[in-house]
Amino acid sequence: MVLRTVVTHAKKHPALIPLFVIIGCGGVGASLYLMRLAMFNPDVSWDKKNNPEPWNKMAPNDQYKLFSINMDYSRLKKDRPDF
């Protein structure tokens, strides 16, 4: 129903097509980033029975950030105790 409305508006007003494309790409990008945070962030624990504290199993050279400026994670030494 919504898709039909978007298509009819795009046929009547072709100048709206770039707006629909940009908003659609933004929504898809936001959804993919949210899915990435839910799956790969060490703060999120989906399996509390087998891995209750996943943040303790991160090695010091694991990069879990999406973007890192001027930080080489492969050279980090272990500076925290084992639990």
Contact 20, 12 (CB under 8 A): no
Contact 9, 16 (CB under 8 A): yes
All structural domains of the chain with their residue ranges: 1-75
Return mean pLDDT, the chain.
Answer: 79
**What pLDDT is recorded for position 65?**
65
Q: What percent of the chain is helix, strand and coil (3-state, nearest 5)?
A: 55, 0, 45
Predicted TM-score (pTM) of the model is 0.57
In the structure, what pLDDT confidence band is assigned to residue 38 with cuts at 50, 70 and 90?
Answer: confident
Closest CA to 17 of 26, 29, 8: 8
